Amino acid sequence: MIAGEAQVGAPVRVLVVDDEPQIRRFLDISLRAQGYRVKLAPDAAAGLAELAGGDIDLLILDMGLPDRDGLDVLRDLRGWSNVPVIVLTVRSGEQDKVLALDSGANDYVTKPFGVPELMARIRAVLRDRATPAESAPVYQHAGLRIDLLRREVSVDGAPVVLSRKEFALLALLARHAGRVVTQPQLLRELWGPTHQSDTHYLRILVGKLRQKLGESAAAPRWLVTEPGVGLRLMGP
């Protein structure tokens, strides 16, 4: 199957919003070669006008636009649209990535980037959109099984006994499988809004969870750490 053809048979429609003509041209050629339908916009105003038409399946958004900051565009967009968003950024700082994800981005790619990486992230975002947690209460991947309804976890068929907090962390990641969940979001969901800076809580909990699942941070089977940003549970 061509990558850009969704299960329903219709090509996925991608909007690229970037002020650099060479980037737009490069992405246009690369995405069309994978079977995606592509629209291009040079700034935030043109991009939002395209999105208002309601026929876009995925937005690739540059953070450094000439008329508006990409974070402002994201926050405004999330007020009226749930379209998946992958941001392109030259801002390699961890805080910048966290801000983008917390502002509503589904994922991010740091410039310069390779086509295989971008295509993989696009596929992951589209898979997540096509299989929401409500229709898939059981996560299964590489021997790990998480039954969100029965609150049961097993590895290679063997039950794993978790504490309430350990299961809550794993369930939160499973509901966003394949996507980065930021540290502030994890801390807020698990310990409340007054603990968003207590990253040592999360570090200790993740260590205990890894131990019970039988994996190491150096060679993770499921829990991938994005240093300084958050955690990603590998998608099924």
Q: Could you tell me the pTM of the whole model?
A: 0.59
Q: Which of 130, 146, 176 is the last residue of a domain?
A: 130
* Amino acid occupying residue 170: L
Residues 106 and 207 placed together within one structural domain of the fold: no
Beta strands in the chain (DSSP E): 13-17, 37-41, 58-62, 85-89, 107-110, 138-141, 144-147, 152-155, 158-159, 180-182, 223-226, 230-233
Residue 19 has pLDDT above 90, yes or no: yes
Q: Is 41 helix (H, G, I), strand (E, B) or coil?
A: strand
- Which tokens hold the place of 42? 């040079």
Residues 92 and 139 placed together within one structural domain of the fold: no
Asked if the structure places residue 157 within a domain, the reply is yes
Span 42-88, pLDDT tens digits? 999 999 888 887 789 999 999 999 999 988 888 888 767 788 999 99
pLDDT, averaged across the chain: 86
Is the pLDDT higher at 9 or at 50? 50
Asked if the structure places residue 119 within a domain, the reply is yes
Share of the chain above pLDDT 70, in %: 90
Asked if the structure places residue 8 within a domain, the reply is no
Residues 151 and 124 placed together within one structural domain of the fold: no
Q: What is the pLDDT of residue 78?
A: 78
Span 193-225, pLDDT tens digits? 677 788 999 999 999 999 999 999 899 999 999
